[in-house]
Structure 1
Amino acid sequence: MGKPNVFDNQRHVHFVTFSCYGNRSHLSRDQCKRILLGALNHELERHRAVCVGFVIMPDHVHVLIWFHETGKLSSFIRDWKRSSSRSIKLFLLDQSQFARTFPKEDPIWQKRFYSFEIMTEEKIEEKLTYMHMNPVKKGLVDNIAEWPWSSARHYDSGKSVGVPIGWPRM
């Protein structure tokens, strides 16, 4: 099986999904979500990227990301997963109830990520709605703005979500 195609030669918004290894719920702990957001902030600044929206679920992540330059997506996701993986694994291995639930040599993330390139504002809004509805559909909250681990509060009421949210210049 070859590598999946990632179209990163134009300045589209990328709707990216990646999952925890073995569909484990590594992100069920708030500290793991905080680590992931901290790493996202770092990589946004380092790669000069714009986060249009995100949601962190217990076993996967969705993000809408836009770059000022082309060809940045793969390195951004690699760096974000790499930096967050180390810290999340250290935290989980320090928690005795989690340390026994997976072999310590297992990775935190699945190797691949999935990207869907978005070319219109209507499609961006559709994907934002889809992402923000994830916690509601999974029964984690009743209202999208109640989930603290997404950009929904930013769009709903302008509140800070721990990550700067912006809009692409398409």
Structure 2
Amino acid sequence: MGRPRIFDNQRYVHFVTFSCYGNRMHLSRDQCKRLLLGALNHELERHHAVCIGFVIMPDHVHSLIWFHETGQLSSFIRDWKRSSSRSIKLYLLEQSEVIRTFLDEDPIWQKRFYSFEIESEEKMEEKLTYMHMNPVKKGLVERIVDWRWSSARFYELGKSVGVPIGWPKL
């Protein structure tokens, strides 16, 4: 099976998913989620990107990202994963109470990411619902607004979620 094709030659909204290496639960700690959001903020600004929504699960991440220019997705995801990986790994290695389930040389993230290109508001709303329902379906919370690590509280309650949320100009 060949590599999945990433379409980044038009101004799509990208529904992106990437996972922790070996499906480990590196993001089960709140501080790791905070570090990931900090890295997302930095890369959104650096790449002039818009975050439409996100959810951080214990072992994977979903996000909806839009760029003002084409050809940005791969470098954005590479930079987001690289910067968050460094800070998350450093944090986890410093935690003496953490039972180490990984070696120092193990990566935090799987190498690849998956992207689904979206061209309609209807499909964006479908993906937002899918993302926001993830913690409910996994039994982590009863209501989508109870999961602090997603954009659901922004959409449902108008509350800040630690990342600027916007809507693309399709």
1-structure distance, mates of 2:143, 2:118 = 26
Shift of 1:101: 1.5
Partner of 1:103: 103
Partner of 1:82: 82
| TM, length-normalised to structure 1 | 0.98
- Identity level (%): 82
2-structure distance, mates of 1:3, 1:98 = 35
Q: Secondary structure at the match of 2:98?
A: helix
Are the structure 2 counterparts of residues 19 and 66 from structure 1 closer, same or farther at C-alpha, using a change threshold of 3 Å? Answer: same
Partner of 1:120: 120
1-structure distance, mates of 2:143, 2:110 = 29
2-structure distance, mates of 1:108, 1:98 = 15
1-structure distance, mates of 2:144, 2:138 = 11
2-structure distance, mates of 1:135, 1:9 = 32
1-structure distance, mates of 2:27, 2:61 = 9
Shift of 1:95: 1.1
Partner of 2:57: 57
Per-residue deviation, residues 87-135 of structure 1 (Å, max 9, x unmatched): 0000001112435221111000000000000010000000000000000
Partner of 2:12: 12
Shift of 1:2: 4.1
- Contact in 2 for aligned 1:93/1:99 (Cα 8 Å): no
Alignment coverage as a number of residue pairs? 170
Partner of 2:150: 150
1-structure distance, mates of 2:3, 2:55 = 26
Letter in 2 for 1:25: M
Q: Secondary structure at the match of 2:141?
A: coil
Gapped regions of structure 2 (runs ≥ 5): none
Map of 1:18-33 to 2, 5 A cutoff? 18-33=18-33
| TM, length-normalised to structure 2 | 0.98
2-structure distance, mates of 1:113, 1:57 = 15
RMSD, matched Cα: 0.9
1-structure distance, mates of 2:88, 2:48 = 24
